[in-house]
Structure 1
């Protein structure tokens, strides 16, 4: 047993039973659809599980789903030494009625997942006063593999989660802030680690039909094979959306996994394959709709869209002995993306238009190995963890001017090799029953070689950074713990901006080089309370500072200067298991985001959300009726530095109702945007030029929320 953990769960409770106890959604393949590793929890403890015993839990038990204060997916679970971290079960993830796969991560308190383009494009993320773009400062992992793509053709940290199969999710671990030694690049605002199941106790087949051409079929099956288990999953989906030019999304997805043993002593090998193509209705200018040039769901360039493919092979291994726990994972990913966008129409080229193609074609590989040593220091319980991470990307990234997807000219076409390695160490010490500390550091080193079609922009770059990580936990007293955290973090910049000296579109002009690694510093004080039976509430006050930086813009192939920023905020998170069949939740995040220097342009950080709130109710237990109602509020945001132009708030309500039959069949109905709100998914403010306009016009550009849509799902377990 980990000596730093609270009293353990009884040995008779397995990981699979724990996960089954957390299952609340029929789409997680019943109560046993969570991780089925039959390993006792003698070395695992959970600081808060608001669930009945595994034997009593049913397929729609609403009494749990959110496990606060735990971490270590795929290995030993240990306390999360921050009020803003935790674990969410796959069952709770699947209880949400959502429009697109990435939206299931909105179960992470304070996280907004939205879209401004076609359904095959990566989501837009917002957290802790950040417009994270497509993933610049939120690190996402699926089964130990990084999702964020560095030096990506469209944007640094581009994280495409459209290959995610929610029904396969066993658990989701989330952290916020740069306080954790395992988190490195892109994790300053937070990190999310998603683990897939090894087996399902019942095979699953489901089909969904819905508004706007939505069709989806999914099957999941597992069976013993030799001394282990084989899991197979396949998914196919189509979707048009309400757009005047249909998305015409076509998606195929598959997972094949062989596993032996348990999460603490065992291994797995997993292959994944994903392919998609789509049209895209990007954000459109308000004036075009107001003047009747296009409708609310119209487009100014009907040939925007893209295609992508992702193929991966990964493995994980773990072993527990008298010294502690060793874990390792490795992966190789083949990734390709073509993206056609036209955001400014005729601003730069009044004759041919401004559409461009972005190409990203890469192979990346890497892995991690870590060991937790258990022991003592002068009689005080202690753990030491050391780890090594590595990653290498070999890629071709290109930007090309196009018209109706036809090539016109090359802006840039670069070959890049980028590699990194990191070493981390953390000491965790329990001084008394009410005091424990964690002290550690993380050292990262980066190397890159850029071979550009513009010779002046070729070159090599190296950089490194060392960040401390500190945590202190006081309590529990009266079921209450106090947390203090401090840590340094960073994100890497697109390395093309690090080596570039010349604007590829205008070779006579020099450009400012970007720093390779941009540091951040975070502080947090928080409290978590469980004094009321079934209720877990947490409050965190945080601050995050980012250094001055230059950002490489994939849409233009140039660098743009940015300024130092400071974010101050408060988060309030609540999870309440009222009864075994009724669960409530509510979250609120308020953030003040400002530039830290003085500039006549203003102090507001464009697109930084001030207020994010959500609330939900989930009901159902075992056979019979089940359902969920989810509210999400995305507050107004400044769109320019002086706050003279702001976005409108977006408030959405999604609902689900269904019935579990005795024969293993379930039927559910999702209603998305239940109130038919005429709101925006996202809003920008920039210059564009429409046909007939004499020059560029600064305007709001928005991507509307889809109108009310229904989706009917028939699922069978056998």
Structure 2
């Protein structure tokens, strides 16, 4: 009924207006490969102008409001020959230019990030890619909102200001907060070893408007990524090069305001070009609950220069500062009381925190010949992180965590494209070194006033990794991929706790080898089958890994997955994936950031992910997904929890999105998301029933049928004012009940994005 009401509302509100034509024309078309596959993220530009666009996942592009005249149209993409054609744009007409791009398998000189030389059409693992054009359509304030576009992923928002949220993927419930997913931006790891919780990763430092794409890897399927990648990896990439001036302004309920700018400007220096990119963000909100103000500012800059025809260098800088208040988690009685559900928790104190983050990365890239390119990098991270938090509903008990963290990392990747007889081989090999030093203090506090130091620790963690992955394009029916990764760790923990004799505890000798194997087969044109078997790991949690007597090995996981993909032109694409993940020696945190862990022993996660994209008629798009999870503790010393479900993993996640754009540029989008019930604790005492949420967006595209030029929009979030929680956990057993992170009620925002 809610879906029907939503569709009716959109139909009523859609304007049927048209605008007067100008003395301009439009260029549009589709770009495909020789095998008729649509190519996404292809840059399409008019040579000598600042006008251009990118193809979407269906290979379509559109450039509107082009002044009449003669132009050279250029299409470029990594791994393909550049296409150029002279065209004439006439007033009030659309010039159709369909393009076929031919691969140049030995051209690597444009690779600037790890893994870019591997080909999308040969992927055996499950990877969802969201590109620049899709990101512009979403008008994001938080990068995590991207995950709503990925089948089988649910964001468990804590709604605690600048505290990193969690996301559920492949049956793991701790991605982003408890270290079950790897997150990196341009190769800089955001996962923190000891600062807040093992693997904590804060994406607040990423500016959404500056993201060129994000690859979401499911499970430990790629040799490119190691620790923290049990559930998968989010690999963000920022814009590099190009000429653009993008602005986004957004404001709405709870005095929320978000301003973002992204600039790209090539500067000619003699016969060379200095590529410059800059982005900034300011965000503030009073929040929809008591004591939930949040303010943050971001800066991102990159400078790239080609020293010679074979060598280029780049410097990338990122900076973030944020401070916030946190309302805490509320008990069941308060959650069910409509007059108190947006108040702070019982006996809550002035929770919140602050963070300052900076990173610097330097790259040197050298092309030896047409089939060999070397990427050498080094980066550093500096941050201070402070959080005041309280768990439970009794008086007192607030704690302050304060950590100063410094990271130094370096490495090199060698990318190659060769041939063994008639078989094309794309490969990458690499080495990485990582050094992390954390000065960690924990204080007993009351309303942010320190009452006494309880912990003072110095952590040093070093890691070294060697990896390699290769794709063999033997035939359309058999394209195997093999990968191998070796990680080794060492370090120590210095204990300087008050009243405790100084101790220096070395890290256990920890290492792990992770093999990967898979193959892909094109059974008929547009219909692919793929299989992937991969191994991953995580280190023992907390101080356990610094105890030689425990002799703990890394927790190990094996993933088995098989999938079918079908693509029919730009009208229909389907994908179905089945997976099983078996893990050993798994440790689960009872509540986010509590520091209390439970040994879950051996576990199994299995499920199905189904996704569909369809365009039944021009400019009408439908996207949907359905995911089913089954989780189980299969072996544990505590027999009472064997056979229990893993906590905070919904049984089902269902999404549906439909949008339509009129010729006039007006349009609407409707999104419906249904999340099934989940167990809120490892003993399965309680379940939370899930929720259904509906969002709507009305918009006007300045470039008529494409948001590339810019967009005016109104967003109505939680349109039917659903009362629900995005995160609920067992607060200690049957007597203590559940704790909830209440979600936002109905709210509205308006905004504009524009490409000057």
- TM-score range with shorter-chain normalisation? 0.7 to 0.9
Pairs within 5 Å for 1:493-504: 493-494=540-541, 496-500=543-547
- Determine the C-alpha separation between the residues in 1 that align with 2:477 and 2:513: 30
Equivalent residues of 1:497, 1:559 under 8 A apart: no
What is the CA-CA distance between 1:557 and the residue it aligns to? Answer: 5.4
- Determine the C-alpha separation between the residues in 2 that align with 1:31 and 1:163: 33
1:272 equivalent to 2:318? Answer yes
1:286 equivalent to 2:332? Answer yes
Q: TM-score normalised to the size of structure 2?
A: 0.80
- Determine the C-alpha separation between the residues in 1 that align with 2:702 and 2:264: 22
- Determine the C-alpha separation between the residues in 2 that align with 1:582 and 1:42: 30
Q: Of 524, 534, 541, which aligns to 2:578?
A: 541
Q: CA RMSD in A?
A: 3.7
Match of 2:723 in 1: 678
Secondary structure at 2:44's aligned position in 1? helix
1:430 equivalent to 2:470? Answer no
Q: Of 461, 468, 478, which aligns to 1:418?
A: 461
How big is each residue's C-alpha offset from its partner over 1:486-524, in whole Å with a ceiling of 9 and x where there is no partner? Answer: 1110122345231259xxxxxxxxxx9583622111111
- Determine the C-alpha separation between the residues in 2 that align with 1:323 and 1:662: 40
Equivalent residues of 1:467, 1:489 under 8 A apart: yes
Match of 1:659 in 2: 700
Q: Of 542, 564, 571, which aligns to 2:602?
A: 564
- Determine the C-alpha separation between the residues in 1 that align with 2:314 and 2:42: 16
* Pair member with larger Rg: 2
- Determine the C-alpha separation between the residues in 2 that align with 1:678 and 1:264: 58
- For the structure 1 residues 558 and 266, does the alpha-carbon distance in structure 2 shift closer, same or farther, using more than 3 Å as the test? same
Match of 2:54 in 1: 21
What is the CA-CA distance between 1:452 and the residue it aligns to? Answer: 1.2
- For the structure 1 residues 334 and 31, does the alpha-carbon distance in structure 2 shift closer, same or farther, using more than 3 Å as the test? farther
What is the CA-CA distance between 1:701 and the residue it aligns to? Answer: 0.7
1:179 equivalent to 2:221? Answer yes
- For the structure 1 residues 649 and 395, does the alpha-carbon distance in structure 2 shift closer, same or farther, using more than 3 Å as the test? same
Moved more, 81-90 or 158-167: 81-90
Secondary structure at 1:95's aligned position in 2? helix
Secondary structure at 1:229's aligned position in 2? strand
Aligned residues: 665
- Determine the C-alpha separation between the residues in 1 that align with 2:63 and 2:446: 50
Equivalent residues of 1:513, 1:550 under 8 A apart: no
Pairs within 5 Å for 1:316-465: 316-320=363-367, 321-346=369-394, 353-454=396-497, 455=501, 458-461=504-507, 462-465=509-512
Pairs within 5 Å for 1:138-177: 138-153=181-196, 155-177=197-219
Match of 1:600 in 2: 640
Q: Of 300, 314, 327, which aligns to 2:361?
A: 314
How big is each residue's C-alpha offset from its partner over 1:20-44, in whole Å with a ceiling of 9 and x where there is no partner? Answer: 33369xxx99999xxxxx9944724
Moved more, 71-80 or 564-573: 71-80
How big is each residue's C-alpha offset from its partner over 1:566-622, in whole Å with a ceiling of 9 and x where there is no partner? Answer: 111111122224455332211111111000116223522121222112121234388
- For the structure 1 residues 7 and 317, does the alpha-carbon distance in structure 2 shift closer, same or farther, using more than 3 Å as the test? farther
Equivalent residues of 2:54, 2:133 under 8 A apart: no
Q: Of 561, 576, 592, which aligns to 1:524?
A: 561
Q: TM-score normalised to the size of structure 1?
A: 0.84
What is the CA-CA distance between 1:373 and the residue it aligns to? Answer: 2.6
Equivalent residues of 2:198, 2:542 under 8 A apart: no
Pairs within 5 Å for 1:618-637: 618-620=659-661, 624-637=665-678
- For the structure 1 residues 701 and 609, does the alpha-carbon distance in structure 2 shift closer, same or farther, using more than 3 Å as the test? same
Q: Of 701, 712, 716, which aligns to 2:750?
A: 712
Match of 1:66 in 2: none
Secondary structure at 2:161's aligned position in 1? coil
Equivalent residues of 1:45, 1:78 under 8 A apart: no
Equivalent residues of 1:230, 1:258 under 8 A apart: yes
What is the CA-CA distance between 1:280 and the residue it aligns to? Answer: 0.5
How big is each residue's C-alpha offset from its partner over 1:443-479, in whole Å with a ceiling of 9 and x where there is no partner? Answer: 0011111111245763111210011110111224242
Equivalent residues of 1:538, 1:573 under 8 A apart: yes
Equivalent residues of 1:610, 1:637 under 8 A apart: yes
Moved more, 426-435 or 305-314: 426-435
Match of 1:693 in 2: none
Q: Of 92, 97, 105, which aligns to 2:147?
A: 105
Which one scores higher on RCO, CA 8 angstroms, separation ≥ 6?
1
- For the structure 1 residues 665 and 14, does the alpha-carbon distance in structure 2 shift closer, same or farther, using more than 3 Å as the test? closer
How big is each residue's C-alpha offset from its partner over 1:517-554, in whole Å with a ceiling of 9 and x where there is no partner? Answer: 22111111111111465322111111111111446889
- For the structure 1 residues 660 and 706, does the alpha-carbon distance in structure 2 shift closer, same or farther, using more than 3 Å as the test? same
What is the CA-CA distance between 1:699 and the residue it aligns to? Answer: 0.9
- Determine the C-alpha separation between the residues in 2 that align with 1:170 and 1:306: 30
What is the CA-CA distance between 1:237 and the residue it aligns to? Answer: 1.4
How big is each residue's C-alpha offset from its partner over 1:393-443, in whole Å with a ceiling of 9 and x where there is no partner? Answer: 111122221111111122211111111111012232233231111122110
- Determine the C-alpha separation between the residues in 2 that align with 1:14 and 1:620: 21
